[in-house]
Copies of this chain bind each other. A is one copy, B any other.
């Protein structure tokens, strides 16, 4: 059983010329070998978009939601529209090739391709999951860091691509190194005008009394695919849910908080800016059991 499966798509978009004549298809290639041109704008300019999808026992989580967000990110970058049918087929083929494992993940990547070529590049990579038990049960030490942008840049300055999941994620990696320097595991971004935004690869969810809240969209942050699943579940339990702007002080006063994402699922915050933070173990366990169950 392979540790990692890589499929290259020959026609990642229906509205761009294919790399090969014929039906849209994909090739199983060796992930240990180079598969991307050094001239691809995906690598020379971070000019592309991606999704990462959690997979349990061969079942991808919220696949259609991820495919829609993938298409929205592509539209934000004026990339050719990814052909959802082709991507869905490739994703399921990669998962099948990886074989049945308890937890794995699939990443989809669409780049603008080699400059001047006019053809996007697309691939699907499936790989075994890491061990997320510690994050899901014990929780994370989190620091809040300035994202530099006002909360309204998505409206005022759409060219900044806030809210699109692009390959230009150097900052999303850099803040994790800053977190490590501060003896923390992860980050919550705060807008330059003082609103809680999101994690570098996660959505912020917090509990205030019997309500689960999240900052919501329109703040230049990603629509949360996993947060959406959690809210549906919470409502079925009779909890309230809502999208509300929050300040760092709102978050500090919350009864519990989580960073939620498709692969790691719900990771409770156990320390915020160096101070102990309450963990709702029962709700965390419920969320993660529900999310794992969605993959079945």
Contacts and interface: CB of A to CB of B under 8 A. Distances in A.
Contacts of A142: none
A85 to B, nearest CB: 22
Interface of A: 4, 6, 8, 31-48, 50, 77-78, 107, 109, 111-112, 123, 125, 145-150, 153, 156-162, 166-175, 177-178, 192
A45 B167 contact: yes
Nearest to A164: B170
A119 B33 CA distance: 15
A85 B133 CA distance: 46
Nearest to A174: B159
A287 B144 CA distance: 46
Nearest to A127: B39
A111 B161 CA distance: 23
A8 B39 CA distance: 13
Contact of A178 (B42, B109, B159): B159
Nearest to A177: B78
Nearest to A156: B146
Contacts of A31: 37-39
- Shortest 10 CB-CB contacts between residues of A and residues of B: A46-B46, A168-B168, A168-B170, A43-B43, A45-B169, A46-B168, A159-B178, A146-B157, A36-B36, A166-B170
A225 to B, nearest CB: 19
A198 to B, nearest CB: 15
B50 A44 contact: yes
Given A150-B192, A167-B45, A39 B125 contact: yes
A165 to B, nearest CB: 11
7 contacts: A31-B39, A34-B37, A42-B43, A45-B46, A146-B156, A146-B160, A148-B149
Contacts of A8: 38
A157 B39 CA distance: 31
A40 B45 contact: no
Nearest to A6: B38
B43 A36 contact: yes
A124 to B, nearest CB: 10
A48 B174 CA distance: 11
A269 B33 CA distance: 45
